[in-house]
Amino acid sequence: MAIVTSKEMFAKAYNGGYAIGAFNVNNMEIIQGITEAAIEEKAPLILQVSSGARKYAKHVYLMKLIEAAIEDAEQTAGFDLPIVVHLDHGDSFELCKSCIDGGFSSVMIDKSGLPIEENIKITKQVVEYAHDHGVVVEAELGTLAGVEDEVKVKAEDSSYTRPEDVQHFVEATGCDSLAIAIGTSHGAYKFTAAQCTRNEKGILVPPPLRFDILDEVSKRLPGFPIVLHGSSSVPQEYVKMINDNGGKMPDAVGIPEEQLRQAARGAVCKINIDSDLRLAMTGTIRQYFNEHPDHFDPRQYLKPARANIKELVKHKLVDVLGCAGKAQ
- Interaction of residue 230 with ligand 13P, rule CB under 6 A: yes
Instruction: Return d(Cα 278, Cα 92) in angstroms, integer.
Output: 26
Q: Which stretch binds Zn ion (CB under 5 A): 134-142, 201-209, 227-235, 253-261?
A: 227-235
Catalytic residue check, 165: no
Instruction: Return d(Cα 253, Cα 51) in angstroms, integer.
Output: 25
Instruction: Return d(Cα 261, Cα 129) in angstroms, integer.
Output: 34
Backbone angles phi, psi at 268, to 5 degrees: -75, 115
Backbone angles phi, psi at 145, to 5 degrees: -80, 170
**Considering beta carbons, is residue 63 or 108 the nearer one to ligand 13P?**
108
Instruction: From the list Zn ion, ligand G3H, ligand 13P, none, pick the one residue 231 interacts with, judged by a Cβ distance below 5 to 8 Å according to partner type.
Output: ligand 13P
- Using CB under 5 A as the binding rule, the residues of this chain from 228 to 247 that contact Zn ion are 229
Surface-to-core class of residue 19, CB atoms within 10 Å of its CB (0-12 exposed, 13-18 middle, 19+ buried): buried
- Interaction of residue 187 with ligand 13P, rule CB under 6 A: yes
Instruction: From the list ligand 13P, Zn ion, ligand G3H, none, pick the one residue 321 interacts with, judged by a Cβ distance below 5 to 8 Å according to partner type.
Output: none
- Using CB under 6 A as the binding rule, the residues of this chain from 265 to 294 that contact ligand G3H are 274
**Considering beta carbons, is residue 150 or 311 the nearer one to ligand G3H?**
150
Q: Which stretch binds ligand 13P (CB under 6 A): 60-68, 123-131, 132-140, 270-278?
A: 270-278
Mask: binding to ligand 13P, 73-112, rule CB under 6 A, as x and -? ---------------xx-----------------------
Interface pick for ligand G3H out of 46, 47, 53, 324 (rule CB under 6 A): 53
Helix axes 275-291, 236-244, angle to 10 degrees: 40
Q: Supply the residues annotated as catalytic.
A: 88
